[in-house]
Amino acid sequence: MKKIMLLSATVLALAGCKGDPQLGKDSVDKVLKAMTLEEKVHFVIGTGMAGFGGESAVVGATKNIVPGAAGTTYPIERLGIPSIVLADGPAGLRIDPTREGDENTYYCTHFPIGTLLASTWNQELVESVGKAMGEEVHEYGADVYLAPALNIHRHPLNGRNFEYYSEDPVVAGKTAAAYVRGVQSNDVGTSIKHFAYNNQETNRTGNNAVISPRAQREIYLKGFEITVKESDPWTVMSSYNKINGTYTSQSRDLITTVLRDEWGFKGLVMTDWFGGDNGAEQIAAGNDMLQPGTDLQYQQIMDAIKDGSLSEDELNICVRRCLELVARSPKAKGYAYSNKPDLKAHAAVTRQSALEGMVLLENNGVLPLKDVKNVAVFGCTSFDFIAGGTGSGNVNRAYTVSLLDGLKNAGFNVDESNKEATLKHIADEDAAFKASLTDQLSAFYPTPRPSELVPSAAELAASARANDVAIITFGRNSGEFFDRTSADFSLSAKEKELLAKVTAAFHAKGKKVVVVLNVGGVIETASWKSVPDAILLAWQAGQEGGNSVTDILTGAKSPSGKLPMTFPVNLMDHASSANFPIDSDTGVYFTNRREDVGQKDVDVTKYEEGIYVGYRWFDKQNLPVSYPFGYGLSYTTFEYSAPAVANDGKTVTAKVTVKNTGSVAGKEAVQLYVSAPAGTLDKPVKELKAYGKTKELAPGESQELTLTFPTSELASFDEEASAWKVDAGTYTFQFGASSRDVRCTATAEAAASETPANRVLLMK
């Protein structure tokens, strides 16, 4: 409240002064010089946020610019500084869909989750999705889109993996860069997040990630480095956690030395919402903007300036970057947004992009469906499709197409005999769950998936007689604030029973069963994957999900998605399982509730596995996996030939020809892995360095793909020397259909090189 009054008082007192420089007309320098200390400190923090009680709007004079946006910047009318609007992402713009006293609606398109986009292995397509998202940002009056999110999938149970891309930094970085280019082509900004090491939700605002400099640089920072260098995002959002003892938002090593000095980032850094614990240290670190802004931060900065621990010059550096951001925003340019983005066109974008990221895991001759008219659907999720995850990554969409509706839209006769009972069961369990929640954070709890209903043997036999095929959907939801549990990773007893009984009934009649996984992250598959006839990993495919799945099932498109992470046999096979807060005593618990539950030590997460994350670990240990990184089936087959690699010392250029040797059209994602010669540093068996996707190849058609990357990317980080080192010798380049399906190889020589880096971000 105090804050709102302060804001209005300042605006009133200063509005209307003659001769003040104006942002946009006068230089940033001039405007900066004209600002009072108080204005500067207000300006680097946001305009505050109301309590959690359902009111998601920004408080103060800027509250209603775009209702439901995550934050706004502090306006200074006398200097012509408008308030700009920051709104989530990443699966689409998150704003309120309706407004008081306004008949219009403000729904946004719910696009596929980040993990699905990464599974397309198609940077051009991701860019086109970004372009559509950015149009909604622009036309709904927001200025900076708080997306994309690209933290590494260090462990399958991280609750926000669905927003993130991959266990591999090249996939994460390339996907994010394409996304940023697409969004920013609309003259709006992005905020790549969460910089960095935000790999768990458990105690996320207090957790200290203890990570070796090598693992930081090669795994956790690399994706951000690629994104900064290849797409020039307007802003970066620092994360909640600490790195080796320091909050990332207060780490000058991270935000200034690495991000700006080493990578050349020129934009603005903002905190995650309420992140860190010291506003003055954030400013000193080069974290330019504090969101959503608190009175405490105002005081901390003022006190530090008064006692000399922070200089006004240091503050000015951040103020200047805030001014530069505001100056380039649509708001400052007076863009007359329409509030009418092309939602119809974007529905088509989400439908098309979703089907390209779905991964066919198994196919025993059942797909694409042939001679099928009557379809039986099972599993609650078939009727209640999950468009995306919860928390700030949710989108207020107008509708979600369920699998049931998708199949009906395509003209199938869908057996709806269990529809009503299932919908009632879902609603009952949902209501019971909501009634069980009492605390003020209830709005954030993801509703657990309903327990499965298993029809009787007689019902199943009748269904198998009447229908040509059965489809079972298993769903998983997750979201911000909570890590997943090991129970969520496995199929429940009811799910297993449903799978076994439906399969037995349909197989008894010589009919097939397809499982659709409507999930946001990795689940256990090894124990049951041979039971059904096909498994389609649909991910959470946005609001058109049911239509996209149907397009794959019917063969309107051949699947071409591939896994951006490993599906392990057992959860504990991941090296990171030794240091991940799996199954806290309460199952799920909220930020900073550690003391309440007498939790084992979750304040520190030691990344003892170092660089051995995902396939790097499984390959090193030669461990069996359920599905390897990069895996995905198609309705056609591809042959790789004529591999060639050249290294001119600056760029590695790899070529391979891909031919469609099957009988239907399809696209193929080709992965380029490198194995280094034995040298001074321990090296992974192989590492992904580049990838590309063919166009849709007709049967018999070929395409030569050219994949390139900078020679310097052959380096590993030598901690002793604090330098990126390329060892001299012969490098083997492997063209893979997956990380465990290498189709051909070529070699090239590289000379030794060493590029020094700052000795920072050390473990204490």
> 58 or 126: whose CB is closer to ligand BGC?
58
Q: Could you tell me the smallest distance in angstroms from the CB atom of residue 545 to ligand BGC?
A: 23
Per DSSP bridges, beta strands 235-238 and 268-270 are: parallel
| Catalytic residue check, 272 | yes
DSSP E strand stretches across 252-373: 268-270, 359-363
Say how far apart CA 563 and CA 662 lie, in whole Å.
22
The structure tokens listed for 643 are 């591999």
- Contact criterion met (CB below 8 Å) for 126 and 179: yes
> 415 or 480: whose CB is closer to ligand BGC?
480
Q: Could you tell me the smallest distance in angstroms from the CB atom of residue 121 to ligand BGC?
A: 25
> 374 or 440: whose CB is closer to ligand BGC?
440
Angle between helices 169-184 and 222-231 (to 10 degrees): 30
- Contact criterion met (CB below 8 Å) for 591 and 205: yes
Q: Could you tell me the smallest distance in angstroms from the CB atom of residue 201 to ligand BGC?
A: 9
Q: Which of 20, 39, 88, 135 touches ligand BGC by CB under 6 A?
A: 88
- 539 in helix, strand or coil? coil
Site string for ligand BGC, 322-361 (x = CB under 6 A): ----------------------------------------
Among positions 468-507, residues that touch ligand BGC (CB under 6 A) are: 480
> 259 or 656: whose CB is closer to ligand BGC?
259
Q: Could you tell me the smallest distance in angstroms from the CB atom of residue 541 to ligand BGC?
A: 21
- 707 in helix, strand or coil? strand
- Could you say whether residue 20 binds ligand BGC (CB under 6 A)? no
- 155 in helix, strand or coil? coil
Q: Which of 151, 186, 246, 392 touches ligand BGC by CB under 6 A?
A: 392
Cβ neighbours for 73, distance < 8 A, ≥ 6 positions apart: 43, 46, 47, 62, 83, 84, 86, 289, 322, 325, 326
> 198 or 381: whose CB is closer to ligand BGC?
198
Cβ neighbours for 646, distance < 8 A, ≥ 6 positions apart: 652, 653, 748
- Could you say whether residue 193 binds ligand BGC (CB under 6 A)? yes
- Contact criterion met (CB below 8 Å) for 689 and 709: yes
Per DSSP bridges, beta strands 669-675 and 687-693 are: antiparallel
**Tell me, what DSSP letter sits at residue 103?**
E
The closest of 572, 490, 577, 488 to 154, measured between CA atoms, is 577
Q: Could you tell me the smallest distance in angstroms from the CB atom of residue 146 to ligand BGC?
A: 4
Q: Could you tell me the smallest distance in angstroms from the CB atom of residue 480 to ligand BGC?
A: 6
Cβ neighbours for 369, distance < 8 A, ≥ 6 positions apart: 469, 553, 554, 555
> 70 or 85: whose CB is closer to ligand BGC?
70
Of all residues in the shown chain, the one whose CB is closest to ligand BGC is 70
To which residue do tokens 């020679």 refer? Answer: 711
Q: Could you tell me the smallest distance in angstroms from the CB atom of residue 404 to ligand BGC?
A: 32
Catalytic residue among 20, 88, 253, 272: 272
Q: Render 367-412 in DSSP notation, one character per residue.
A: -S--S--EEEEESHHHHS---S-BGGG----S----HHHHHHHTT-
> 193 or 616: whose CB is closer to ligand BGC?
193
> 193 or 476: whose CB is closer to ligand BGC?
193
Q: Could you tell me the smallest distance in angstroms from the CB atom of residue 198 to ligand BGC?
A: 8
Q: Could you tell me the smallest distance in angstroms from the CB atom of residue 196 to ligand BGC?
A: 13
Q: Which runs of consecutive H residues, i.e. helices, occur in 683-754? A: none
Say how far apart CA 590 and CA 753 lie, in whole Å.
47
Q: What strands, in cross-sheet order, belong to the sheet with 669-675?
A: 687-693, 669-675, 729-738, 741-750
CB atoms within 10 A of CB 124: 12
Count of residues of this chain found to bind ligand BGC when the rule CB under 6 A is applied = 8
> 192 or 376: whose CB is closer to ligand BGC?
192
Q: Which of 139, 143, 272, 551 touches ligand BGC by CB under 6 A?
A: 272
Q: Which of 106, 107, 162, 273 touches ligand BGC by CB under 6 A?
A: 273
Q: Which of 35, 59, 66, 70 touches ligand BGC by CB under 6 A?
A: 70
Site string for ligand BGC, 281-300 (x = CB under 6 A): --------------------
- Contact criterion met (CB below 8 Å) for 437 and 448: no
- Could you say whether residue 247 binds ligand BGC (CB under 6 A)? no
> 218 or 480: whose CB is closer to ligand BGC?
480
Q: Which of 79, 95, 146, 354 touches ligand BGC by CB under 6 A?
A: 146
CB atoms within 10 A of CB 601: 10
Q: Could you tell me the smallest distance in angstroms from the CB atom of residue 88 to ligand BGC?
A: 5
* Integer Rg of the chain from CA: 26
User: Which residues face 544 on adjacent strands?
Assistant: none
Question: What letters, b where the CB count within 10 A reaches 16 and e where it falls short, cover 463-474?
Answer: bbeebbbbbbbb
Binding site for ligand BGC (CB under 6 A): 70, 88, 146, 193, 272-273, 392, 480
Residues with a known catalytic role: 272
